[in-house]
Structure 1
Amino acid sequence: MPRVTVVPADRLVIVDGLALTFDFNAPERMHALQWDGKQGHIEWLGSGDEPPHNEPLAADSYAGQVAPFVELCKEQKARLEQAAAEAEAARLAEYNSEEARFERLRSGRDQRLAATDYLLMPDYPLSDDQRIILQVYRQALRDLPSQEGAPWDGGAEDTPWPEIPNWVKA
């Protein structure tokens, strides 16, 4: 049997160290329930003439007093896992959407263009041949999003990036 702690006022159920907070129904005036795997107790709040007190729980109390909270915790955990799986599926769908892949492709392209901007400064020492090679490279970058197959994988391994001239220190 699991170890269980329940604190209704905090909307807290802990089962074997897994703590979840969520709305659940508990007996009125129950302050807390503690179960160590074999036995436990319920802490009751006082009311009127009745003072606060603890009610011991023996092994035969588990099914009626403790197990329902364990089941609630399992159900809540399953709901949270389902919601997380749906959120991850939506995130992946967005990440892999054509629009997002184009955005990543353009961003990678813009970074590569920016990395060679300094070479086009009028006072940068490039030969005419180097300037032409650089202009061809930069034009190939600008044309990349309009090529057939774009956006590929959004600028990752499957993207046919033009080869940067080996003399460029980008």
Structure 2
Amino acid sequence: MARVTVVPADRLIIVDGYALCFEYAAPDGMHALQWDGEGGHIEWLGSEKNPPHNEVLDADSYADLVAPYVKAWEEEKARQEQAAAEAEAARLAEYNSEAARFERLRAERDRRLTATDYLLMQDYPLDNTHKEAVRIYRQALRDLPSQEGAPWDGGGESTPWPDLPAGI
């Protein structure tokens, strides 16, 4: 049997060291439940008629008093895992959407254009042949998003990037 801790005021159930906080039903006045795998106790808060006390739990009381919390914890854990899987699937779908791939392609293209801006400055020592090669390279970068097959993988390895002319 699992080790279980239940603290209703904190909306906390811990099963075998794995804590989850969520809404669940618990009896009024219950401060905590502790189960060590073989036995345990429920800590009850005091009231006008009853002082605070502990109720001993044994193996016979597990099914009625401990197992419902384990079941609630298992259901919540499954719900959270399903929600996380759905969120990850949605994130991947968005990341791989055509719009997102075009956005990444354009961002990388713009980075490559910016990296060559200095080459076309009037005072940069580059001869006209090389400047024309840079202009052609930059135009190829600008034309990339309109090419057949764009956006490929969003500017990654499958993107047919033009090469910056050698010697520049």
Question: Aligned pair 1:30/2:30, yes or no?
Answer: yes
Residue matched to 1:74: 74
Shift of residue 127, structure 1, vs aligned partner: 1.1
Question: Aligned pair 1:105/2:111, yes or no?
Answer: no
Query: TM-score with structure 1 length normalisation?
Result: 0.97
CA distance in 2, matches of 1:167, 1:57: 81
Partner-residue secondary structure (3-state), 1:150: coil
Residue matched to 2:157: 157
Count of residues paired in the alignment:
168
Residue matched to 2:119: 119
Residue matched to 1:139: 139
Counterpart of 1:117 in structure 2: which amino acid? D
CA distance in 2, matches of 1:81, 1:115: 43
CA distance in 2, matches of 1:166, 1:55: 82
Residue matched to 2:148: 148
Residue matched to 2:52: 52
Residue matched to 1:3: 3
Percent identity, aligned pairs only, is: 71
CA distance in 1, matches of 2:167, 2:87: 46
Query: TM-score with structure 2 length normalisation?
Result: 0.98
Unaligned stretches of 5+ in structure 1? none
Counterpart of 1:92 in structure 2: which amino acid? L
Unaligned stretches of 5+ in structure 2? none
Shift of residue 167, structure 1, vs aligned partner: 2.3
Shift of residue 60, structure 1, vs aligned partner: 1.5
